[in-house]
Structure 1
Amino acid sequence: MRLFAGTAAIAIIAAASPARAGEQVLYQPAPDWVEVADISAALDKREDLILYDRQVALEDGVVTRYTDLAYDISTTQAMQRFGTLQFAWMPDKGDLTIHRLAIIRGGETIDLLAEGVKPEVIRREQQLEKRTVDGQLTAMISVPRLQVGDVLRVSATTTARDQALDGEMQVSEGFIARPARVGFGRLRVLWPDDTQINWGTLGQLEKPEPETRDGYRVVEFSMPIAEPKKMPEDAPRRFLVNPLVQVGSFADWQDVSSTMAPHFGTEGTIAPGGPIAQQIARIEQATSDPVKRMALALQVVQDEISYLANGMDGGNYLPQSPADTWQLRYGDCKAKSLLLLAMLREMDIDGEVVLVHSTQGDVASISQPVPGAFDHMIVRASIDGTDYWLDGTSAGTRHDTVYEVPNFGWALPLTEPGSDLTPMTQRWQKVPDRIYRTTFDFRNGVDFPALYEIEIEARGVAGAQFRQLASETSERTLIGRAMTYLESLVGGLTYDAAYTYDEASGVGTLRAKGMTFDNFKYDRGISTYAMDGASIGWSFETDRARSLWRDIPYRLDGPYYSAEQAQFLLPEGQERIELTGTRSLDEEAGGRRFKRTLVLDGSTVRLDDSIAYIAAEIAPADIPAQRTAIARIGSGDPQIRLHGARRFWELSDSEIAKRIEPYIAAGSKLIAVSEDAAPIHALNANFYRFGRQYEKALAEYDRAIDTTASAETYAERANIHFILGDIDAAQADAQAAFDLQGDLATASMLASYMARNGEANEALDMLDDLGLSGDEKLDMEIMWSEYSGHADRQGEAWNRLEAMLDERPNESAVFNALCWHAAIWNNNVDDAEAYCDRAVDLSGQSAATVDSRALVYYRQGRMDDALKDLEMALEKAPDQAASLFLRGLIRKRQGDAKAGALDLTHARRLDPQIDDRYEAYGLTAA
């Protein structure tokens, strides 16, 4: 993408970017126009960067950069950092001259150049990973005798004459800004007084008045400059540009255009009957439609020519010929653009190459007329009054996507007469970049993960990303890449994936299957699912509150167009299905086009959805109205609401076992292709546990631990051992989890098994030995009280909880702990009622506190009050096993054996350990 192949700053001295001039390092005094800085005052400040002096002259078609630097070698790290210096320059454009290499030590100066210290010159391409070579040379010097306390000073000059600019010159220089500190910092830019030069600044930078000195016009800046004020991240790029000074000898943009245009002529560049001419003939035979011909030519350039930026031998602005590009089968943006332009003109399609900036296009509108305002080149073609912007370095463009306008903002056409800047006017795309077709299968129930099948069609660049994967044969790679791609779309796990790519249409397709854990949320008998979609979940959050920001537009990036077709297969058996939100939407707001159609058909919900936006700006005055419009649209984000849906604990063992089969099959598929299968074995174990197949769950946990042991997996297996009645194995696994993790959670689990295994006192002592404080101490005390009855230390636990109440007099958790302790151990029951009421009030009648009070009522023989609380708790938390269990006991006691038995069955399905736990409290269902 780079128009320039060698404009980067070097490690010590910034090299000129823009004739083979000198591959040998020169050693001479600084140029006469240089004002050598007096370092003495800066030395006293002893900043890390003592001196930064950059002076740049534009004269006789040559840009000369002088840089003088001094570093404080105050630490070993600084000595290591600056012990090797690097000077870079472009030998095809100019020279490197080193003026000074010295160590200042104790007021004395050690002249290392006079001692014969010289650099080693190497050619080292530093951007090969970006497919860029530039011929840059690097002079490397290992500084001898450098030690902590020294000051290292080095000064050098590079010269540059760009072969493509016909004697014109350009300079762009950035600045050191606060809070960085410099002992002495300066930037001087100068040119002969009789030379016409244009200059200006970008960003938050005060523009000084130029002066005339010794026949030169001089612009001078002190550094560090003031720290730029923060700008909103969603501002147009011209408001975000870093402070910069631009200087050039071009009169205007037309001058830039006409100066560079001769290098991009196409006359005679395609040999009759040659390979490029044969490609053109093939295209012309395929179609007579000029737009289709243009798209096919662009496809040839994108697909047949690989990208390589060659900046050697003047290549920063000089393109290689179309013939060379075709023969080499590589080229940079200039080479690709010139080849494409030549092909189009051979087919009588009007066009020219244009300069653009790939990331900061709108900055060109405020830039000085210099080629350096751009970093990329594309082709503008015109057919029947429509401009097409063709990027040869992009990928996947075809007839149906060639209409898209890339977000480059402004373009400078290179024409012999000269052209001015041209806005790249955006327009809405004709086809989506991506189309998602998804089926979410919730038919197993609202508590189960959704199984999904998805097909994604991607065009243009998005589609080209699938091209390589279409030939991939590794199932592990395919599933892994698909899972990563789908993570932000559907989440969960992908267990099957296939990619295809159609060269003719440029459409890449991904078909995948998986499961997502973004399920229904349950509240008071209603299961709610918040749908996701292209037009769903949007907000307009932009901050223009600061006075400095109030006149700054909002930047909308793009272009982008996404469409989604989704269907949601819902479980049978609920009382009612309800759709909330906006079902029909066709509106433009916040610079975006929203379209939505939502239909309920029996037990299936169908969503047809799209979002589109193009690069644009929203004026400050329009922002409030657009924010309101987006908020209104967002308020209509749709949801599926199921009334009375059947819950998993209402399913029989055979029903739930059958319903988990597809999840087990998916997990098994992933185990076969996963590099680390332990998490998938653990996932399958969880499914088996959910399906009440505990022996199979244990086997999967065994496999997970055999592969990769973790505290979490040990803890989960401990639970299964306990369900199966093996308390010793459960305690051993809990001990292993605690040894690995050592926190309160694993300690509490271990203590619970120890208490049930005849080691209650040891369990309580272990909790005390944790030495916790703050909230964790409170949690520990609550657990201590819950296990205390196993050691007949209920009274001690009560006193400890009351002491905690003195520390935290308004803590709901402490009141609830006292209430629960009294209830389970039948200790101080009458005294606990007030604590229970306080816990319920402070918690806002949480299901847990209401359940605790219900058990106190039960101990007091107040069954009606207990039932009332249990109904309240189960309305809020229908899966609270403790409430179901106690209600079952009461219902049986009151003679409703059928209802009581059903409650107990549901409680045991939710918590297979509940009988054991309540038996320890003296409560049995017998």
Structure 2
Amino acid sequence: MMWVWLRAVLAGMLAAGASGGVLWLAGEAGIENARGAALPGVVIARDGAQRLYRAPLPHWAPPMSEAREGAGAEASGQAATLQGLQFEQVEQHVWLGDSRPVALTRFRVRATTSSAADQLAVMTRIPFLPGHQQAIVHEAVIVRGRERIDVTGDVAVQFARPGMDARTLSLTGVSEAQLRLPGVRRGDAIEVTVAVRGNHRLTDRFDVSAAIAAPGAAVGHHRVTATGPAGAMSLSHDVIRRERAGEGLERLVLHDGAFTPQWPEPYSAPWRQTGGYRIISRMPSWRPLADWQARLYRPDVTPGVEAIARTIAEAHDERADRITAALRYAQREIRYFALALGDGGYVPRSVSETLRLSEGDCKAKTLLLISILDALDIGAVPVLVHTRLGAGLDRLPVTSGAFDHVIAGVEHEGVWYWLDPSWREQPGALTRIGHHDYGWGLIARPGEDALTRLTPPAPPAPDLMLEESYVLDTDGAADFTAQWAFAGAMADIMRQAADEQGRQAHLDYFTRQYANRFEEAAFEPGPQARDVRARNEYQLSFSGRIRLRDLRAQEARQAGQDSPAVVIAPHAALAPVQIVDMRDRAAPVYISQARHVRHRVRVTLPEGWAPPEAFEARFATALFTLDQSLAPFAHDGAPADDASGFVLEMAYQLHPGEYSAAQQLDSIGALKRALARSHVWLPGGEGGGVISDAAALDAASAPGLPALPAWQDGSMPGSPLDAGRIPVAIAY
């Protein structure tokens, strides 16, 4: 991913949140301005390029005595105690007064046990980028009763080396200065002030921004400020107070009081799940970043690229086919690996080196794709995106840290396609390739000064099309066939699942769903998987003999009275949304991806069983559009009025976005009405009078879902969605 070091730094600082972790995003190292962000300092520890400086407190930071007095009794009353450590005070201050921002952290933690004293002595850690940032220790004091023991000059320092991030397949340059304080005892508190100056030498020309990660434990007093030119700073959160901080400067107070970590609300948009994470920026426009990145992604048509382009051109005449062939080359032939040391977090590796090693990260793969397309006389642009926050980027301050990935944009016949060469190989025509909805992105071309909504092209087919056929006998047994066709991004997901789990294990998962749904199921031959790459479809097929669940009361089943009561339902299209408890919930529900599912069921009835009445219905809400229909049919050659079966069809299209409680409740009502009509009871009559086993009904209509207690009352399906009895919201 792009700038993977940033993610590693964030993870490290969040892990150190209890000791006042901070994330820093801009400026180059340097301690030379006596009245600037950091005062003159001296190196107190060194290991190669890794250095730790000691410097006095900068002039813009609030005095330490003022901070201690502000905590007062609040600190002792509100501080959390974890494993004997009591977090009395944490301060986080950001300086944006010049082109080299500083993030300063000050914390006061007390040891209430002997083992906690051992932890306290070694808990201070400062992640930083050697060669780009400076790690600074301003003060380290042991507080023992009324005595203050300054041990700043006596701390022992150990540097941790960069390591491999197995999760992101990346090697970052992040180091860590680990401080050990001498003489810490039970009952002592330590007051430590550390800072990191700068971000990366390549961004300090235009990006003045910073971000703060909140503590990971409850703190008696937590103070967060940002100091910089008056009126020039933008923030991701509200300001609680503004203070004058000098000539032309202001201090924005973002938090000042007790702090308790907040668990993110499930189903909320990622940009709302901040957990106290704040972004502050002085960057006025996206244009400097777009101009800089555009230069880095200029096509590099080497002899190797020309050879690849010739091969593609000889094999494909159509422009669209050449685009997909170039994309598949970058996906298939270049293994993903990120080396983010030095400038590698920002600058793509050269095309020649990428081809020589047959490996690269998203930057290298995107530059290669753009170069191949250029050799084919097809223009393409790099696009900076964020894999999780994309739909909310337009709500955040301008900062180079807003992105963690890069893809390519190509226009073809008036439609923009957003191609991701870091994905596994994607088969199919250009119009059938799966697209992830990245939300907002920055097209890196000269003069671009605004984000662009990266709307995925409309797919030509549903993400899932399921067709099932039942030829029913009077006892509820049936000849059964099913054909699942996953398309687009869903086909990519299914291929990856089959690859990681093994094809047979993947098929077994779907077989278990049917085994749960039916009373009996025997598929001969066994389920089959077929990858139709020309259409970018992944198909699953089932064929065999099954028996539907008899939903009559147990006494009726034992007595053999009447015909079995069975239910037919288009189960794949029954759940466009999940049911989410709305009690005590204020946040809107977020749906991240669009989805289109269609399920068609053809039922051939035994002699004497009448088909249900035909109907058509549409339910349109802000969250989804849902269509239903039922149409009787006759056997070939039979009179038109001699109906012998029916086709039940249900389809939904889910719309991504954030939805309020009112919109959710409106959709609940529509879904309740749709579910009430989607279950067809055979051989006739209403199901409510015969349901005795809620779990059996759930299994028959929605395989794999647990029984919902609200169905125990024997009412028709849909009663769990009664918003009057069970406050719920819905989300994808």
How many Å apart are 1:417 and its aligned residue? 2.0
Q: What is the TM-score with the length of structure 2 in the denominator?
A: 0.73
Q: 2:330–2:365: 8 Å Cα contact kept in structure 1? A: yes
Q: Does 2:221 align with 1:187?
A: no
Q: Does 2:402 align with 1:373?
A: yes
The partner residue of 2:599 within 544, 564, 574 is 564
Within-5 A mapping of 1:910-921: none
Q: Secondary structure at the match of 2:289?
A: helix
How many Å apart are 1:210 and its aligned residue? 5.0
The partner residue of 2:438 within 387, 391, 408 is 408
Q: Secondary structure at the match of 2:167?
A: helix
Equivalent AA in structure 2 for residue 613 of structure 1? L
Aligned to 1:592: 624
State how far apart, in whole Å, the 2-side matches of 1:489 and 1:420 are: 50
State how far apart, in whole Å, the 2-side matches of 1:517 and 1:157 are: 69
Aligned to 2:197: 159
**Count of aligned positions:** 624
The partner residue of 2:128 within 86, 89, 109 is 89
Aligned to 1:5: 5
Q: Secondary structure at the match of 1:344?
A: helix
1:560-582 deviation per Cα after TM superposition (whole angstroms, max 9, x unaligned): 22333445576x57x524436x6
Aligned to 2:719: none
Q: Does 2:365 align with 1:336?
A: yes
Q: 1:96–1:159: 8 Å Cα contact kept in structure 2? A: yes
The partner residue of 1:246 within 273, 276, 279 is 279
Equivalent AA in structure 2 for residue 564 of structure 1? H
Q: 2:297–2:367: 8 Å Cα contact kept in structure 1? A: yes
State how far apart, in whole Å, the 2-side matches of 1:144 and 1:451 are: 78
State how far apart, in whole Å, the 2-side matches of 1:457 and 1:547 are: 37
Aligned to 1:29: 56
Q: Secondary structure at the match of 1:380?
A: strand
Aligned to 2:322: 293
Aligned to 1:202: 236
Equivalent AA in structure 2 for residue 483 of structure 1? D
Aligned to 1:669: none
Distance 1:318 1:639, change over 3 A: same
Aligned to 2:509: 484
Equivalent AA in structure 1 for residue 656 of structure 2? A
Q: Does 2:311 align with 1:270?
A: no
1:47-77 deviation per Cα after TM superposition (whole angstroms, max 9, x unaligned): 2222212222235532222211221222467
1:137-191 deviation per Cα after TM superposition (whole angstroms, max 9, x unaligned): 122345555443221332222122423325123334346499x643332223223
State how far apart, in whole Å, the 2-side matches of 1:532 and 1:164 are: 56
Distance 1:105 1:262, change over 3 A: same
State how far apart, in whole Å, the 1-side matches of 2:522 and 2:494 are: 17
State how far apart, in whole Å, the 1-side matches of 2:547 and 2:179 are: 58
- Between stretches 290-299 and 225-234, larger displacement belongs to 225-234
Identity among equivalent pairs (%): 18
Aligned to 2:143: 104
Q: 1:51–1:184: 8 Å Cα contact kept in structure 2? A: yes
State how far apart, in whole Å, the 2-side matches of 1:431 and 1:585 are: 21
Distance 1:259 1:462, change over 3 A: same
Q: Secondary structure at the match of 2:96?
A: strand
Q: 1:428–1:614: 8 Å Cα contact kept in structure 2? A: no
Equivalent AA in structure 1 for residue 404 of structure 2? D
How many Å apart are 1:242 and its aligned residue? 5.4
The partner residue of 2:451 within 421, 428, 431 is 421
Q: Secondary structure at the match of 2:394?
A: helix
How many Å apart are 1:479 and its aligned residue? 4.0
Would you tell me which structure has more strand in proportion to its own residues? 2
Q: Secondary structure at the match of 2:332?
A: helix
Within-5 A mapping of 1:746-765: none
Q: 1:303–1:395: 8 Å Cα contact kept in structure 2? A: yes
State how far apart, in whole Å, the 2-side matches of 1:527 and 1:262 are: 69
The partner residue of 2:492 within 447, 464, 470 is 464
Q: Secondary structure at the match of 1:25?
A: strand
State how far apart, in whole Å, the 2-side matches of 1:253 and 1:172 are: 16
Within-5 A mapping of 1:645-684: none
Q: 1:561–1:612: 8 Å Cα contact kept in structure 2? A: yes
Aligned to 2:656: 615
Distance 1:455 1:225, change over 3 A: farther
State how far apart, in whole Å, the 1-side matches of 2:577 and 2:598 are: 18
Q: 2:570–2:650: 8 Å Cα contact kept in structure 1? A: no
Q: Does 2:47 align with 1:16?
A: no
Aligned to 1:223: 256
State how far apart, in whole Å, the 2-side matches of 1:20 and 1:214 are: 25
The partner residue of 1:132 within 163, 167, 170 is 170
How many Å apart are 1:395 and its aligned residue? 3.5
Aligned to 2:641: none
Equivalent AA in structure 1 for residue 104 of structure 2? Y
Aligned to 1:312: 341
Q: 1:585–1:596: 8 Å Cα contact kept in structure 2? A: yes
Q: Does 2:100 align with 1:62?
A: yes
Distance 1:252 1:442, change over 3 A: same
RMSD of aligned alpha carbons: 4.2
How many Å apart are 1:512 and its aligned residue? 5.4
Aligned to 1:72: 110
Q: Secondary structure at the match of 1:522?
A: coil
Q: Secondary structure at the match of 1:121?
A: strand
Q: What is the TM-score with the length of structure 1 in the denominator?
A: 0.59
Q: Secondary structure at the match of 1:5?
A: helix
State how far apart, in whole Å, the 2-side matches of 1:270 and 1:436 are: 45
Equivalent AA in structure 2 for residue 638 of structure 1? H
State how far apart, in whole Å, the 2-side matches of 1:132 and 1:520 are: 55
Q: Does 2:317 align with 1:327?
A: no
State how far apart, in whole Å, the 2-side matches of 1:518 and 1:104 are: 74
Equivalent AA in structure 1 for residue 320 of structure 2? V
State how far apart, in whole Å, the 1-side matches of 2:195 and 2:136 are: 5
How many Å apart are 1:323 and its aligned residue? 2.7
How many Å apart are 1:641 and its aligned residue? 0.9
Q: 2:90–2:106: 8 Å Cα contact kept in structure 1? A: yes
1:276-328 deviation per Cα after TM superposition (whole angstroms, max 9, x unaligned): 32222222223232222222222222232233333211233222223333333
State how far apart, in whole Å, the 1-side matches of 2:139 and 2:544 are: 66
Q: 1:51–1:71: 8 Å Cα contact kept in structure 2? A: yes
Q: 2:120–2:184: 8 Å Cα contact kept in structure 1? A: no
Distance 1:151 1:635, change over 3 A: same
Q: Does 2:385 align with 1:359?
A: no
How many Å apart are 1:440 and its aligned residue? 5.8
Distance 1:20 1:150, change over 3 A: closer
The partner residue of 1:635 within 658, 661, 676 is 676
State how far apart, in whole Å, the 2-side matches of 1:487 and 1:451 are: 18
Unaligned runs of 5+ in 2: 31-48, 80-85, 557-561, 636-643, 686-712, 714-732
Equivalent AA in structure 2 for residue 333 of structure 1? C
Unaligned runs of 5+ in 1: 645-843, 845-926
State how far apart, in whole Å, the 2-side matches of 1:465 and 1:351 are: 26
Q: Secondary structure at the match of 1:164?
A: coil
Distance 1:590 1:519, change over 3 A: farther
Equivalent AA in structure 2 for residue 70 of structure 1? R
1:639-662 deviation per Cα after TM superposition (whole angstroms, max 9, x unaligned): 131269xxxxxxxxxxxxxxxxxx
Q: Does 2:463 align with 1:433?
A: yes
Distance 1:308 1:544, change over 3 A: same
Structure with greater contact order relative to length (CA < 8 Å, sep ≥ 6): 2
Q: Secondary structure at the match of 1:93?
A: coil
Equivalent AA in structure 2 for residue 202 of structure 1? S
Q: 1:401–1:460: 8 Å Cα contact kept in structure 2? A: no
Q: Does 2:551 align with 1:521?
A: yes
How many Å apart are 1:508 and its aligned residue? 3.2
Q: 2:24–2:199: 8 Å Cα contact kept in structure 1? A: no
How many Å apart are 1:236 and its aligned residue? 5.8
How many Å apart are 1:465 and its aligned residue? 4.2
How many Å apart are 1:629 and its aligned residue? 4.2
Equivalent AA in structure 2 for residue 458 of structure 1? F
State how far apart, in whole Å, the 2-side matches of 1:102 and 1:517 are: 76
